[in-house]
Chains A and B, each alone.
Chain A
Amino acid sequence: EPEVTQTPSHQVTQMGQEVILRCVPISNHLYFYWYRQILGQKVEFLVSFYNNEISEKSEIFDDQFSVERPDGSNFTLKIRSTKLEDSAMYFCASRNGTRANEQFFGPGTRLTVL
Chain B
Amino acid sequence: AQKVTQAQTEISVVEKEDVTLDCVYETRDTTYYLFWYKQPPSGELVFLIRRNSFDEQNEISGRYSWNFQKSTSSFNFTITASQVVDSAVYFCALSCPEGGNEKLTFGTGTRLTIIP
Contacts and interface: CB of A to CB of B under 8 A. Distances in A.
Interface string A20-61: 000000000001010100000111110010100001100000
Which of B37, B91, B106 has the most CB atoms of chain A within a 10 A radius of its CB? Answer: B106
Interface residues on B, range: 20 to 34
Given A45-B104, A55-B99, A107 B43 contact: yes
Interface string A46-83: 00101000011000000000000000000000000000
Interface string A90-103: 01010100011111
Interface in B17-62: 33, 35, 37, 43-45, 47, 50, 52
A102 B37 CA distance: 10
A42 B44 contact: no
A31 B47 CA distance: 17
Main secondary structure of the interface of A (DSSP, over half): strand
A102 B105 CA distance: 13
Ranked 3 nearest A-B pairs via Cβ? A105-B45, A43-B106, A42-B108
Interface of B: 33, 35, 37, 43-45, 47, 50, 52, 91, 93, 95, 97, 99-109
Given A55-B99, A102-B47, A103-B47, 9 more contacts: A41-B108, A42-B107, A56-B103, A95-B102, A99-B97, A100-B97, A102-B50, A105-B37, A105-B47
